[in-house]
């Protein structure tokens, strides 16, 4: 797809308008092809006082956009013959034998369990059909957290991995912590901490110099204030602000989230997937593996709307934007052309703080849009993303 200067100018005008009106404090956007970013833009302000202009090298928390990187790491192990996608993962992680499914609570408020039929497979972890869920969108698991039966994701240093399943493996699609378990699997098989594996096999080969779990103190001048939408307006969030830390100092590295990155860095992952697994001369995955990532891996199951249980962290979300959606290996798959222009067979996903990407192989492009706002699927953020896409595709 060749997009014109006028289309890019229209796309810039969309995001500029959102920050000028105050709907967003800051927005980053980019579009690229198999060779990398073609156009990139920043608008708004890095700080909550709206005094420091945002630049295109801003470092943002990408949250669940981490999941695609963990998926790639896992598929590298598959290609190396060290992991099979379709055998129960207790073959690699014996602690997951004899798993339980939390079915609910009795009249006395006691948790009720049944035995899991088996441990989920790596493919089920990768496709959110494993039975592992997030309490943000699952009422039963949230109740278990409130009762102190399990720990929440935030601040638990990995103890949230001890959560029970919410349904039998393979039974349905529900967004969850399965890819955190994939991160644990990568660590177990490779013998490396997840950060080190990512650096050796993904970040360094691609030249992703601004991506990591800890925020480098020397780069705080590129941090962006995390905002919250309260009563329709934006305030600085009391939590989730960038805090400097030494590389390698974290007690736990999440395969499901917690990375910081830039649009330039993350674009190299997307460009590689448009280019048969290669970017900057580095071969992340084989062409055949990359092609398989874009296929439907959940069969007759569908990706439904997520229903929030924690409105401060997330709104209800529909990442198919009203159109049918499946799941590939690492991302949602759009089965039909979306209302904003993505072709059938395009893929996409997002991060909790309203960062979004899509890859459109038919058109030969990828797109990135990011701000730093809670809750997820923030209406002005989504409206801006959709209008940005329509401008890129020449639909407005």
CA 82 → CA 75, 85, 137, 289, distances in Å? Answer: 10, 10, 33, 15
Write down the residue that tokens 């229209």 correspond to: 10
pLDDT band at residue 156 under the 50/70/90 scheme = low
Closest CA to 330 of 61, 34, 72, 32: 72
Q: Mean pLDDT in the chain?
A: 95
**Cβ atoms of 45 and 52 closer than 8 Å:** yes
For the full predicted model, state whether its pTM sits above 0.95.
Answer: yes
The yes-or-no answer on residue 267 being catalytic is no
- The conformational region for residue 296 under phi > 0 = left, psi -120 to 50 = alpha, else beta, is beta
Largest CA distance in the chain: 65
Q: Indicate where the chain has its CATH 3.40.710.10 domain(s).
A: 5-66+211-392
Give the span between the Cα atoms of 328 and 284, in whole angstroms: 17
Active-site option among 92, 132, 175, 377: 175
The yes-or-no answer on residue 132 being catalytic is no
The yes-or-no answer on residue 64 being catalytic is yes
Give the span between the Cα atoms of 106 and 354, in whole angstroms: 37
Choose between 151 and 371: higher pLDDT: 371
Closest CA to 373 of 312, 310, 306, 307: 312
Return the beta strands (E) in the chain as ranges: 26-33, 36-44, 60-61, 100-105, 111-115, 227-230, 233-236, 260-261, 278-279, 282-283, 325-327, 332-334, 347-351, 355-360, 365-370, 373-374
253-271 pLDDT, tens digit each: 999 999 999 999 999 999 9
CATH of domain 5-66+211-392: 3.40.710.10
Q: Give the whole-number percent of the chain exceeding pLDDT 70.
A: 99
Active-site option among 64, 135, 190, 346: 64
Query: 161 — phi, psi (to 5°)?
Result: -65, -15
Active-site option among 67, 134, 266, 348: 67
Inform me whether the pLDDT recorded for 86 exceeds 80. Answer: yes
């Amino acid at each position: 797809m060749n997009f014109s200067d006028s289309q890019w100018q229209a796309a810039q005008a969309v995001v500029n308008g959102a920050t000028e009106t105050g709907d967003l404090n800051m927005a980053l956007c980019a579009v690229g092809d198999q060779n990398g970013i073609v156009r990139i833009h920043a608008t708004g302000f890095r700080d909550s006082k709206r005094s420091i202009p945002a630049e295109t090298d801003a470092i943002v928390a990408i949250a669940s956009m981490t999941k695609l990187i963990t998926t790639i790491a896992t598929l590298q192990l598959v290609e190396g013959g060290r992991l099979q996608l379709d055998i129960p993962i207790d073959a690699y992680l014996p602690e997951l034998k004899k798993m339980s499914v939390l079915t609910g609570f009795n009249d006395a408020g006691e948790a009720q369990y049944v035995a899991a039929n088996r441990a989920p497979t790596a493919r089920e972890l990768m496709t959110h059909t494993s039975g592992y869920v997030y309490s943000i969108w699952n009422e039963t698991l949230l109740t278990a957290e409130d009762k102190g039966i399990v720990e929440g994701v935030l601040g638990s240093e990995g103890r949230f991995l001890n959560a029970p399943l919410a349904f039998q493996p393979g039974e349905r699609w529900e967004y969850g912590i399965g890819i955190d378990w994939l991160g644990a699997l990568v660590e177990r098989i490779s013998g490396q901490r997840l950060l080190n594996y990512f650096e050796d096999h993904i970040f360094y080969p691609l030249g992703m110099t601004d991506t990591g779990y800890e925020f480098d103190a020397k780069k705080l001048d590129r941090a962006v204030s995390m905002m919250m939408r309260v009563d329709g307006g934006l305030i600085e969030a009391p939590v989730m602000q960038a805090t400097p830390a030494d590389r390698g100092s974290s007690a736990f590295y999440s395969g499901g989230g917690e990375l910081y990155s830039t649009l330039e860095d993350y674009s190299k992952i997307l460009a590689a997937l448009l280019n048969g697994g290669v970017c900057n001369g580095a071969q992340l995955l084989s062409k055949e593996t990359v092609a398989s990532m874009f296929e439907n891996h959940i069969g007759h199951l569908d990706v439904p709307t997520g229903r929030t249980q924690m409105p401060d962290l997330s709104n209800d979300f529909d990442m198919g934007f009203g159109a049918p959606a499946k799941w590939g290996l690492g991302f949602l798959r759009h089965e039909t052309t979306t209302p904003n222009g993505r072709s059938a067979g395009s893929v996409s996903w997002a991060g909790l703080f309203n960062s979004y990407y899509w890859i459109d192989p038919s058109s030969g492009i990828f797109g990135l849009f990011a701000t730093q706002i809670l809750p997820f699927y923030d209406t002005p953020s989504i409206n801006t993303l959709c209008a940005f896409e329509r401008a890129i595709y020449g639909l407005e």
